[in-house]
């Protein structure tokens, strides 16, 4: 069964550094998403992406964040200058349509020191 994959599984970085989290969505899916889960808290929506542009973003997704689909398979989340409060599990998801089931990857645990 096809699945969403994410790399790395765990990323440790220093405050102020840039990080790129990578995701490979399911191949025939058209909508891509990033969510995050701060330890002990709920999963929160960050951004959705369709047709090579952001279709929706939350207030969390400020100018420090960007997303890109650099080729036909990868979907990346970049955090330009990490802060301590960016430490979280970041989940990528994809779906065939805007209202269809979202399938989640295993997540990348980001630790900012």
SS3 86: helix
Angle ∠(102,97,95) on CA atoms, nearest 5 = 25
Enumerate binding residues for another protein (CB under 8 A).
4, 6, 31, 33, 35, 41-45, 48, 55-56, 58, 91, 95, 98-99, 101-107
Q: Give the DSSP per-residue string, 9-58.
A: SEEEE-TT--EEEEEE--TT--EEEEEEE-TTS-EEEEEEEETTEEEEE-
Pick the closer one to another protein by CB: 44 or 66. 44
For residue 16, the minimal CB distance to another protein (Å) is: 28
Pick the closer one to another protein by CB: 5 or 66. 5
For residue 70, the minimal CB distance to another protein (Å) is: 22
Pick the closer one to another protein by CB: 18 or 100. 100
């Amino acid at each position: 069964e096809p699945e969403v994959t994410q790399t790395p599984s765990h990323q440790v970085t220093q405050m102020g550094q840039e990080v790129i989290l990578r995701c490979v969505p399911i191949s025939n899916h058209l909508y891509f998403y990033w969510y995050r889960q701060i330890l002990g808290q709920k999963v929160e929506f960050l951004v959705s992406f369709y047709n090579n542009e952001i279709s929706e973003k939350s207030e969390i997704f400020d100018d420090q964040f960007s997303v890109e689909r650099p080729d036909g398979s990868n979907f990346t989340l970049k955090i330009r200058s990490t802060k301590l409060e960016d430490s979280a599990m970041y989940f990528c998801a994809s779906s065939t349509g805007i209202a269809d089931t979202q399938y989640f990857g295993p997540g990348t645990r980001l630790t900012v020191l």
